[in-house]
Structure formats: structure tokens, C-alpha cells
Structure 1
Amino acid sequence: MAGTDHTQPAILHDNGPAIILVGPQLGENIGKAVRAMYNFGLTDLRLVAPRDGWPNPAAWPAAAGADVVLDNARIYATTAEATADLHHVYATTARSRDMKKSVITPRRCADLMRRQVSQGHKVGVLFGPEKAGLKNEDVAPCAAIVSVPLNPAFASLNLAQAVVLVAYEWFQAGDETPAEYIPELDTRPATGEEMQGLFDHLESELMKSGYLRHEERRPVMIRNLRNMLSRARFTHQEVSTLRGVIRALATMGGAGWQQEKAARETDGNPEKE
């Protein structure tokens, strides 16, 4: 259940593709496929002649909390019955078929289904039994074959993996999450006054430590430091933490350079400025 936040509203796609499992064998595999569905807001589960009957008690623990999908699963005797109300059906398979039919990736399939759903059409995706996959008679009526680009020497996916790939692409096709963002935390960006306080504090301690002792190089060094710190876009809390670090370092070793310089002068080996 890692990552689950029950305080957040569920994103459900009531008009999303039906996930049709044809002849599924193990209850655990059905549950794992359902978990994959619910991760991406899909709730229309259709089971065609499950081998071990239904309900299968092994499915619920494997679903890891996606009970609403299992509780509302619909059972059919044949694939034709399971797809009778759908306008467009796609068949997932990794095997080549002796038929002339478009082969598309899950991403292309998601794009097509999004367009079809926007037109008021109902869509679905077929997944075959774990051991042998779909039969040709199940594939033949479908609009296209969905095939995942994989390592050709090892193109074996289990049922849940196949479902998660299709469901993920469906979700992504309509998701507007930016490719990169910084989560908003319970703080605010540092103000200009706070950043100036950080600059002044750091430069003061660096003067005391001797780091900025060379007057001719000091302006460039200060400018570089301010530029680096400004790029970080610190929050108020981060500026406070960094100033605490500066204070701690200054307290523990702020006089180190002065002590070292005095020791060298005592030994008759003053540092060359």
C-alpha cells in the first residue's frame, strides 16, 4: 500500500477502457491485474470464464485494497458476450498471428481510445490466459493488436504487467502532470531581505576565517558566492537552516585561521599574503 493516501480524492475513469480478462487462471493474478487497473483509475473489470470460478478468494489480498473493482467485476461465458456493448476492442498479444491486422503500441492504443471515448464510444482491451494468451477467434474481431516493444529475446510479460502498461499509457494520455516540478511544502520562498542576511552572515564569517583575506580577489569571490546561492532559490526554512550551519561552523572553528597565522608568526614563518 506504499504511496496510498486515503485523504486524496480518487481519480476514476468511469468511461475508461474495459479490462477484459479472457480465461484468467489464478485468483492472485486477477487481483494483481486489478491493482494495476486501480492505480490508473480504471474500474470496469470483465472476466470471461475464469478457470477457478468466481468469486475467487485469492484475488482480494492480491488486489491490495482495490476491492471496489473486484466487488463490481462482471462475469461472462464468452468473449463475444463480454464485448457486446463495446464499439472498439483491442487485443493484447506478443505472438504473431496469421491475419492481416494493424499492430500498435500501448501508447498508440491509448491515443486512439482517448479519441474514441471523447466521441462517446465505449472501448475495451482483451488480455488472454496467463499460459497461452488469446485465441485467434478472440483476436479476429478486434480493431487492432496491441504489442509492447520489448527485448525480442525475452518478451514475456505476466498478466499484471501487461495490464499496467496499457493502463499507464491510458492514464498518461490524459494526464497534465508537468515533467518536472518541486512539491509545495509548508514554507515560503526566502525574501530578498532574508537572502541578503544570509549573504552578509556568510561573508562576515568568511572574513573572520581568512577565506576572503585577499582584497583584490574578494569582490569576484563574493559575487560568485552570491550567484551560486541565488540559483538555489532557497525557502525561508532553508535560509534559517543554512545560517544555523554557518553559526555552528564559526563557533567550532572560526578562530582557526587566526590561531594558525599567529602560530606561524611565532615560529618565524609568517604566511605570505
Structure 2
Amino acid sequence: MTSPAFILVTPQMGENIGAAARVMGNFGLPDLRVVDPRDGWPNLKAESVAVGSPVLKNATLTYTLDDAIGNLTRIYATTARPRGMEKRVLTPREAMAEARAATEAGEAVGILFGGEKSGLPNEAVSGADAIITLPVERDFSSLNLAQTVGVLAYEWRAGDPAPDDFEPVSDPASKADMERLYDHFIEELDRAGFFHPPEKTPLMVNNLRAALARARFTEQEARTFRGAIKALALGRGKARIVRED
């Protein structure tokens, strides 16, 4: 599936360009287009902050917005300010879900991000198919350029499953395993004289069982917990032998 192009329109700081390229690389978005950057191109500060991101190395430089979006069929404009235009307004989550469906249908999608000082010009917003705005506090709505890119990049991949190299959680412990754990735990606590006064033993036992049940142990965790109980019991026995000697 083709990913959307992220288009930085007249960005000012090389650091923000580099940070945008870095987070795009993190989330597998290879198509960065930079329109007329203030401090020229290539930019050493961008290269430093990008920490080797291939996205920056392969970024496209243009000097007009028309050149940057000429091959695209659907455009979203990010802005924190109402523009008084008859435009659909979407959250990043809504927009990226729509963009994913559009790319799957064969469209070429672009997301516009404005420069740090004043955001996108009105003519860029007016030509977009929809506006993306983040649900920020209205009295403090200006986001850093690279942070905004990061939010949209995350939302693009938010529906993907966790990476395969993380080990899956083992199966939940069976009720029989949990009963053995409860019995083992209560038995060792009783031997240690934990239940005092005796008349409160049933209540204390029920509280302990309830607490352990809420933990929803896996098979591995139940085995580990029983191993810990056994180790503590053996350690208590060794300490008793040392004292007696």
C-alpha cells in the first residue's frame, strides 16, 4: 500500500525538518517533500536531528507548492486556526483512516504542514480536500511542526498490530492451576503464623484469593509465583536451622 506524502510548506528551522524526517522513518512513511525551506537545502541541522533517517536523504525539494502536489489526487491541510472556509474538518484519526482507504483505492494522498511562524497560507488550505486539526486547547493551540508530523505519522500506523518480534503473552492460568497456587500460598502463610487472630482467617484468606484472582495470572506467572512461595518457605527453613545451630 502506498503511504501519503508529507509536505512541509516553507519550513523555517532545519531541526524541525530533521525531526519530521526522523519520526516519518519511525512509522514507515518514506515520502517527505520540502517546499522552499527558509534556510536552504541541504541543511546540516536537519541532517543532525534526523540521525540518519533515510526519509531525509530521499526527501524531494521543490520551490512551489504546485510542484510538490502535482501528482497527488487528494490533499489534506493541517491547521489549528478556523479559516472561515466551507471545508470538512477531521481529526488526525479520522483523516488517516480516510487516507488509508483512499490509498488502498489507488489514490495518491498528501498531507500539508505549514511553516513554524504562521502555518499554511489560505490559498494552500483552500485548495485542500479537507482540513485536519488536532483536538488541542484553544487558548494554546500552536503545535511544533515536527510534533504535528509525529501525531499524523502515528495515526497512520495506529491500526497496525504489534511487531512480531515481541513475544506473545502465554495462555491464562487455568482455574485448577490457580487453586493449587491459592492452596500453596495459604498453607505457607499458615505455617509462618500469618493468620492472626485465628477467627479472622476465613476473611483474610478470601481477601488474598480475591487479590490474586484480579491479577489474571498467565500459566507462566502462576508457575513463577509458586516458585517464589517455595523459595521463601525453603529460606525460612534454612534460617531456622542456622538459629538452632
User: What range is the shorter-chain TM-score in?
Assistant: 0.7 to 0.9
Q: Does 1:117 align with 2:103?
A: yes
- Match of residue 130, structure 2, among 144, 152, 160: 144
Q: Does 1:60 align with 2:43?
A: no
Counterpart position of 1:163 = 149
Q: Does 1:80 align with 2:66?
A: yes
Asked if 1 retains the 8 angstrom alpha-carbon contact of 2:76 and 2:111, the reply is yes
Partner SS, residue 82 of structure 1: helix
Cα distance change on mapping 1:226 and 1:137 into 2, 3 Å: closer
Aligned residues: 234
Relative contact order higher in (CA < 8 Å, ≥ 6 apart): 2
Give 5+ residue unaligned stretches, structure 2: none
Percent identity of equivalent pairs? 44
**Residue identity in the other structure for 2:188:** E
Cα distance change on mapping 1:194 and 1:101 into 2, 3 Å: closer
Partner SS, residue 139 of structure 2: coil
Cα distance change on mapping 1:176 and 1:197 into 2, 3 Å: closer
1:60-94: CA deviation from partner (whole Å, max 9, x where unpaired): 2211342x101111111211111011110111112
Counterpart position of 1:210 = 193
1:1-273 residue pairs with structure 2 within 5 A?
15-66=2-53, 68-172=54-158, 174-177=159-162, 184=168, 198-199=181-182, 201-212=184-195, 225-226=208-209, 228-229=211-212, 232=215, 233=217, 234-249=221-236, 251-252=238-239
How far does residue 109 in structure 1 lie from its aligned partner after superposition? 1.0
Alpha-carbon distance in structure 2 between the residues aligned to 1:202 and 1:62: 53
Cα distance change on mapping 1:224 and 1:22 into 2, 3 Å: closer
Alpha-carbon distance in structure 2 between the residues aligned to 1:198 and 1:97: 63
Taking structure 2 as the reference length, the TM-score comes to 0.80
Counterpart position of 1:6 = none
Partner SS, residue 29 of structure 2: coil
Taking structure 1 as the reference length, the TM-score comes to 0.72
**Residue identity in the other structure for 1:206:** L
Cα distance change on mapping 1:35 and 1:208 into 2, 3 Å: same
